[in-house]
Structure 1
Amino acid sequence: MIQTIDLRGTNPVHTNLASVVPRAQLDVAAATAVAEVLISDVRERGSLALLEQAERLDGVRPLQVRIHAEQITKAVAALDPAVRDALEGAIERVTAASKAQLPQATVTMLGDGAQVVQRWQPVSRVGLYVPGGKAVYPSSVVMNVVPAQVAGVASIALASPPQRAFEGSVHPTILAAAGLLGVDEVYAMGGAGAIGALAWGVPDLGLDPVQVITGPGNVYVAAAKRLVRGVAGIDSEAGPTEILIIADATANPYLVAADLISQAEHDELAAAVLVTDSEQLAESVRAELETLAIATHHAVRVREALDGVQSAIVLVDSLGDAAAFSNAYGPEHLEIQTEQPGSVLDLIDNAGAIFLGEFSPVSLGDYLAGSNHVLPTGGQSRFSSGLGAYTFLRPQQVINYDRAALAEVEARIVALSGAEDLPAHGAAVTARFEQR
């Protein structure tokens, strides 16, 4: 069961910590080579390639790649009322939180008649990926679609792998979630091929290329997103899920263990990490994990994830050291279960989403907190953020000077253009004041 990394008595500087953070061993190079072949096949052969890839990789050949609108309507009608209520609640909360992310246009006056406007324009079309391997993720439909709609995206295409249990169609709960949000362009396609299809389009399906692709997936989806970047924007190369919990002696070991297991059940490569300055808490959590891991529904998967090199109980000398370790790790999900979580939060720089106190588990964020659960993994939170309305917006500067305002800066423009040996730049300004 889960390894222990003892950092007590060491010097916790960033360079030291970066070398000891536990990570899954993913062969991204091999995944990239496979993804490139799949993408090229889709670009060359369109829907036929997608059908053959589904048959080979998903074990089923869809009757059609694009889902008919009536199937979506039927899925909404058949949706379990309790699940519908939960999805509608999630939509309401994520909508409210996403609206708070919308930046406002600002006008900067640099003098009379000298104006720069900062505006934010949505992309016109996006492709959203919803995984469908070991679990069903209607919540990911909400997390992808809502911020795009809030941002003002006009055209949304959604892709999710075909399901053997449903004759190659997208899982009906995924279809229902799309239907509740008014999304009617849904494709039964998964993996790297789906990412390529969204980026370059598939003419024989009527699938037009998108400008931005978002959503989590396996290592092949992550590799594909890396390959299409430049053709389309991406949110991040999201891989297996991660949870890092900073806890002290006041934390409830049962709750800490339950939260570690909640993420470990996603995937055998999921990372579950506890960082604590309490050896007693560490041992109590280990004991709880032994009991809970056996009893949970996905016991085999959970056990493999906890036994993996990516999971660990990390012992440190202080909560300051725990925060330093977390910053070096850059977790997707960070929980802080300490006596004074706010004081630890002040030390945190890098995290996808942060959950404070014992009544804010990651599961809350997965579904109904209002926050977004599409988050950077693999340490990418050190330089990128989770999905939000801003993902689909582009800042644009609009420059509007009148004649007098341009005349005021004419000499300085001429001086700088000359210094850069680009005299035509200055001449383009001077020309506006010549008599012709």
Structure 2
Amino acid sequence: MLPYVGDFATAIKQQARNINVVIAYKNSDSYIFLQKDNIQSLTYNAKADKALGGVVKKVCDIKAMYNEYTTNLTKGTPINLYYRCGEGGVCKKALLYISQVKVNKISKIIIIEAKDYLSYIEDIATLPMMKNTDLLTYEKTVFAQLGYSYTIDSSVVNPKLTLGYPVSTKLLDTFEEMAEANQAIFDFGFNTTYQLTLPFNLPSTFSMPMIGDYITPSDGFELHIKKFGFSNPVDTLDVDSDLINFEIDDDSSDQYEDVKVSLFFPSSSEQKSLGKVTATVPGSVVDYNIGTIDFGNTMMPQICVFDDMVDISDYTIGSDSFSFSVNNSSVLAKNIEAEMYGLDISTATLKDTDTDSNIKQVSNMYIQGASVYDTEIFKHPNCTLKTFGNPLYEVGDTIRCAPYDVLILEENLVFSGGLKCTLKGVAKDNEIN
């Protein structure tokens, strides 16, 4: 459940409530605050897959007036999303990055799409590879190389690793695999030390100088790694006052009688060639892309051999491919051949596999050592709740709707003057289980 200030938690549960949405962003030497008189509609969606763990993916679609307060909203701008309710109640919801902007100057409307950091960046920098370690140590090494600040719940699962390596050149794919092996939620959010204070008499559009009177919005994120699974409910929903509708999904295609978590055994066979690339580099060029070596199978690349001296300007490496760019300070063209060598781990075996359709088989490249996992999420049906909306809920929270406990997997908040919400998750019947 998200932190808040003032009386937000009680005000948001009232039958008659005055709720406002706030978008804050940095503009030169001021912070601009957009509110509901300027925002026509806003839809916020956060979701994670039904798995042992995963990455929370967030997207926000905003329709607002196009005026002096919104003209500087461009791709890459970090925005802070807040909800306000009650006498000074504020909930800080998400830090997002603008991914798309469309402007209709005739109708004076701006359409904005913003995403969480991980969904926004898509590709990754080069990640390290390690041997004979554990998952948390490897993750901390990765986060340090990427320059991320982070918090890690001490109760997440931490399997031993024979080989630690990125799943692919897509950071989202690698983090999804890590999160499942941790049985955790990876969530990019506000720094935990950042506290929210806003003047409570904000007009609908407000420019606030960066002075010491108020703690300003955040321009940076922190990666939160939190234990995932059913837990003590953060809130109880009353069927008569909090819920519009509650449905249990009849589809049982992702509900299983038993779940088996297999161990992944990467081999450490002799080094082999993973592929090569040749190119002619023109004279006097900078950041010339040589090409990509596609490994075909899952590999652990270790060393690249060149047939001549090269000045590498940039490179991207994963367990599936290697690509790089070079500089050539000479006026003469240069022929280059590069060959990558490494370990073939595509023949890794899984222990305790099962083909029974009533048994869920979990396989993960980071589950290389025996660990204990709570597989309860796969043994209960999906459900959908339509509510009046409470922005304090997060993906990964458990809420109670008697006789069920619901683990939230998706939240869809729609604001258009008022607020409504659809929650999706997994429902555990406490009268049966």
TM-score (norm 2): 0.21
TM-score (norm 1): 0.21
Larger strand proportion, structure 1 or 2?
2
